[in-house]
Structure 1
Amino acid sequence: MHTDDAPGPQPSLVRALLRAVRRDPRAVAVVDGAAAHTYAELDRLSAEIAGGLAARGLGPDDVLAVHGERSWERCAAVLGAWRAGLGVVCVDPGMPAPRAARIARHCALLVRSDASAPAGLGPAEATLGEVRGAPLEEIREGSVGYVIPTSGSTGEPKSVAVPPSVLAALGDWHVRHWSHDRPPHTLQAASIGFDVGYEEIVATWLAGAALVVVSDEERQDPFTLMEVVRAHRVARLFLPVVGLHALATAAVFEPDAMPDLREIAVAGERLAVNAEVREFCAAAGVALVNEYGPSETHVVTQHRLDPRGAASWPEHPPIGTAVAGAELLREAGGVLRPFAPGEEAELIVAGGSVGLGYLGDAELTAARFRTLPHADGAPRRCYATGDLVRFDGESFHFVARADDQLKVAGYRVEPGEVEAVLGTVPGVRRAVVVGVEVAGSRRLAAVWTRAGSGGPGPEDLAAACAARLPAYMVPRHFHRLDELPVTANGKVDRAALRTLFAPARAAA
């Protein structure tokens, strides 16, 4: 069995967080713009939010939608929900309303900032000011920590429910493995609704460090991001691959801009290390941590790259070894067992990292979250990732997907969900979506055939997607064909379709 060093029984997430919050009340918990908020303020505001939720009759196993940009108030609302036993789903205000409504449909209440207009997504609503009440003194434990929306092959997003124990174990792992010479002050920069955002919060607060909130404009401009990192002595970043590449390129022009930075964790899609990343990490002494894990489990492996050996870092490093109690297995003949050196197979995750399932979809939950016999005689509840991996005797390596699922900007995308939207556009007979690699990052490309003469153009198709899907799911390239190529067994030849966009990749 390939697992991280066992930390022993995990405490509940909320109890562990409250112990950390009260360890040094005067320390800074959240920096939001020019305002620095202490752990005492976080304790007080989150208790008032928890009390207000409880007064409305909400409690364990209800889900709260937090609608808003990254902010101090949003961070406090997440902790407040956990104190009252609620799960949380964070909803990006910039997301198209139809999709946002589908994400919020399982929520008992939606909270938004005091200055924002009603979201109108379906659940009852309240501003954060309205929901605050008398502080809740008791701690309530719930089974759901957070809900993460992820793309669905049927055209509808799935809502993955993850227990708080997963975050408790992952946060504890981060605290125990931080070995640098300064506190792990961390940016709150993950895209809203991305599970890394919860990892940022928990790993930082359990360590008693400061969470530095950045806006979309700041996180998308690497030069501005470097200024924020320097000004607030940030030691740790969680970045998608494209963000890592942009930061490394910008650092060439300001090599000493981030003297406190010690570690960058990358997650969400396959890590691609280029010359700029090697040069930046070597010069700045920054360790690179490759994290892996599907939405249904959160992070289950990591591989740490020492900056002293940056010159020899491979383009695609291993995904590494298990963390936070995850058990990495394969299935053979209906029985689970550990990988043997040299074996390649679909990765099955068991142990405490496995999520609860899909809210509102018991059938899909039963199909994807199964209990299987293990060679040691003790059955395991597990999740089949759909990722083919190879075990070299020490570390795991990502090989490929076993299906058509894609990762774009750190988000999981089922091509079928985008294809379903394109199929509703008048004049489209058939649409197929594939992933293409551009400068080390993946983008979506769409191929369509017409129903009759005339029909829509690329601008029409992009607009239809933008009206119903988040920006990362809108294809960047389009190509029309008279007929789709098929394989010998009659399936659409997606590999052939990807070659159509080779000129676009070269131009980029």
Structure 2
Amino acid sequence: MSGGPSPDSLVALLTGACVRHRDRVAVVHAGRAHRYAELDAESARIAAGLAARGVRAGDTVGLLGPRGWWRCAAVLGVWRAGAAVNPLDPALPVERLARIVRAAGTRLVLRDPDTAPVPADAEQVAVDRIGVEAADGSGQLPLPAGASASDGPLAYVVATSGSTGTPKCVAVPPVVLADLAAWHRDRWRHPEPPRTLHAASVGFDVGFQELAATWAAGAELVVADDATRFDPFRLAEFLAERRIARAFLPVGALLSLAVAVPVTGHRPEALREVVTAGERLVVNAEVRALFAGLDAALVNQYGPSETHVVTEYRLPPGDPDGWPVHPPLGTAAVSAELLRLSADGLLRPFADGDEAELQVAGRALAVGYLGDDELTARRFRRLPHVDGRMLRVYATGDRVRREGGLLHFVGRTDDQLKVRGYRVEPGEVEAVLGRVPGVRRAAVVGHRRGGSTALHAYLVLGSGGDGDGTVDAARLRAACAAELPDYMVPVRFLTVRELPLTRNGKVARGDIGAAATGTVLR
């Protein structure tokens, strides 16, 4: 499938699709089908309402609420207003939501009418009220000149775990999504547009990929609620009954789905492509059984929040028994240029046998971190290429090796972890635990089991916490849950006499397990 305008403008790409496919279904939510003409009109109303409230190009607008029709229309409406979307998940602790609103410099928050406001200093409006006060007698607002075809400087910001204990906001320009959406559209090899599952967690950049890639193709976006997304047995039934052709699933969700399908008897026969990312892909017996007999490709994608998707490896339909257990990252995707920094200080392409930290250049790069120029300068640098060019590159922190023309993941150059597809900086969890009375020091490490990672916290207890019962798992878990998303709350808390250190005085995380006293806090 191909066609449509140049992807240089995300708004032009998507509003053009609304015009060309106005009679097709754009979003299916709660049993109701919303056509592209309705998406066009509703997003225009929201854009005009935002402009009437003073939102301008370059501002950040928070969207607070679950996946659904109004949120889909609001995303496009924010973009048409030239603003950036700050996705706010109502399931997050309120204090964390407030921090994200502040860190992103959020100008205004659009919220679901049934969702309570965020306790933060930002104007907040229910989405069904936006534009109502300023509308003329017809109930319509004029769309600001140029709003239907012009991109703002940013498309979205996403909050990621920060090593200092505070989430950092990655700011991504529209060209990243425009390129990615057109790339997906032009690579679809089936006659019917890809009816696509919309199940990515609110606040996860994959959710924007689901929207943009689906609408650029004039396809249906089918919204799954959280009860379905979190239950692999319900998800299996949903995929089969809704005849979903394309699904973007974290590795953990894919593994759970593969177990659930034979139990439920609901085989997703319409699936043609499953795209997975977030953690290292493991192709086990259950995954092979799921894809046996399906005319569906399994696609392994990789890319940090600072670049979105930069590599892809496609496991072709028809031979899941021949798929490797750990598929490679693959080759460059979309517009990414994959490089290494050599000892002479020059950027070079990877040759077979090279192993180094992956540096990414090209149009896929984020602008940086909002409000943190120092971190932006450290992670996004301009460096000389061996061919004489000066390139802006992002240092991923991921060490990769090239073999047979394909990149393979080796490991991290730092302590960063991936849990359920989300980035976790152990330092952010440790900062919360360190504020609990009775905890002298804390170290958080990841333990791999069954293809997923779980967090374990190792604690050195001080006065008031060693043996008198004032520090227990419930108290520690509550402290984490009050400030952190659920995937960052450790599943186990263990005591150690001291944390093992390296010769440089840093915590030797690989040796912590051996230092545990065997006491599990309960």
Q: Please give the range of the TM-score, normalised by the shorter of the 2 chains.
A: over 0.9
Q: TM-score, normalised by structure 1?
A: 0.95
Query: In structure 2, how many angstroms separate the alpha carbons of the residues matched to 1:278 and 1:250?
Result: 13
- C-alpha distance in structure 1 between counterparts of 2:243 and 2:17, whole Å: 21
Deviations 1:377-426 (A, max 9, x none): 11001100000001114111111000000011111010000000000000
Identify the match of residue 186 of structure 2 among 168, 172, 176.
176
The amino acid of 1:340's aligned partner reads: A
Write the mapping of 1:91-110 to structure 2, written as runs, cut at 5 A. 91-105=88-102, 106-110=105-109
Would the aligned equivalents of 2:380 and 2:394 in 1 still touch at CA under 8 Å?
yes
For structure 1, list consecutive stretches of 5 or more residues without a partner in the other structure: 1-6
Q: Does 1:247 align with 2:232?
A: no
The one-letter code of the counterpart of 1:493 is A
Q: For residues 41 and 393 of structure 1, do their structure 2 counterparts lie closer, same or farther at Cα, with a shift above 3 Å needed?
A: same
**Aligned mates of 1:499, 1:291 — CA distance in 2:** 35
Name the counterpart of 1:118. 117
> Is 1:54 paired with 2:56?
no
Report percent identity of matched pairs.
Answer: 54
In structure 2, give the amino acid aligned to 1:473. Answer: M
Q: 1:361 to 1:489 in 2, by over 3 A?
A: closer
Superposed displacement of residue 120, structure 1: 2.3
**Is 1:201 the equivalent of 2:211?**
yes
Task: Label 1:499 to 1:50 Cα distance change in 2 as closer, same or farther (>3 A).
Answer: farther
Deviation at 1:220, TM superposition (A): 1.2
Contact 1:50/1:135 (<8 A) preserved: no
Report if the CA contact (8 A) 1:436-1:498 is conserved: no
What's the TM-score once normalised by structure 2's chain length? Answer: 0.92
Quick check: 1:358 aligned with 2:369?
Answer: yes
Distance 1:72 1:406 in 2: 33
Q: Which amino acid aligns with 1:172?
A: A
Aligned residue in 1 for 2:138:
none
Aligned to 1:297: 307
Residue 445 of structure 2 corresponds to: 434
Q: Return the alpha-carbon distance in structure 2 between the equivalents of residues 85 and 489 of structure 1.
A: 48
Which residue of structure 2 aligns with residue 185 of structure 1? 195
**Deviation at residue 368 of structure 1 after TM alignment:** 1.0
Deviations 1:119-143 (A, max 9, x none): 2232111111221351416324211
Q: Deviations over 1:87-133 (max 9, x none)?
A: 00110111001111111111000011223332223211111122135
* CA distance 1:284–1:346, shift in 2 (3 Å): same
* Gap change, CA 1:388 and 1:61, over 3 Å in 2: same
Aligned residue number for residue 136 of structure 1: 143
Say whether 1:267 aligns with 2:264.
Answer: no
Aligned length: 497
Q: Secondary structure at the match of 1:131?
A: coil
Which amino acid counterpart does residue 39 of structure 1 have in structure 2? Y
Aligned partners of 1:218, 1:467: CA distance in 2, in Å? Answer: 25
Distance across 1 between alignment mates of 2:296 and 2:512:
39
Q: Distance between the aligned counterparts of 1:30 and 1:49, measured in 2?
A: 17
Task: Report the aligned-residue RMSD.
Answer: 1.8
How far off is 1:306 after superposition?
A: 1.1
The partner residue of 1:288 within 277, 288, 298 is: 298
Name the counterpart of 1:69: 66
More moved, 133-142 vs 454-463: 133-142
Structure-to-structure mapping, 1:326-475, within 5 angstroms: 326-332=336-342, 333-452=344-463, 453=466, 454=468, 455-475=470-490
* CA deviation after TM superposition for structure 1 residue 492, in Å: 1.8
How far does residue 14 in structure 1 lie from its aligned partner after superposition? 0.4
Shift of 1:279: 1.2
2:31 equivalent to 1:24: no
- Deviation, 1:64, is 0.4
Q: Which moved more, 1:179-188 or 1:25-34?
A: 179-188
The separation in 2 between residues aligned to 1:33 and 1:500, in whole angstroms, is: 52
SS of residue in 2 equivalent to 1:93? coil
- Secondary structure, counterpart of 1:22 in structure 2: helix
Report the Cα distance in structure 1 between the residues aligned to 2:213 and 2:334, rounded to whole angstroms. 12
Distance 1:127 1:363 in 2: 36
- 1:285-339 CA-partner distances (Å, limit 9, x unpaired): 3211000000101010110001322102122100111111100000012211111
Counterpart residue identity of residue 311, structure 1: D
Q: What's the offset of the Cα at 1:226?
A: 2.1
Pick from 221, 245, 250 the counterpart of residue 211 of structure 1.
Answer: 221
Equivalent residue number for residue 4 of structure 1 = none
Q: CA deviation at 1:495?
A: 1.0
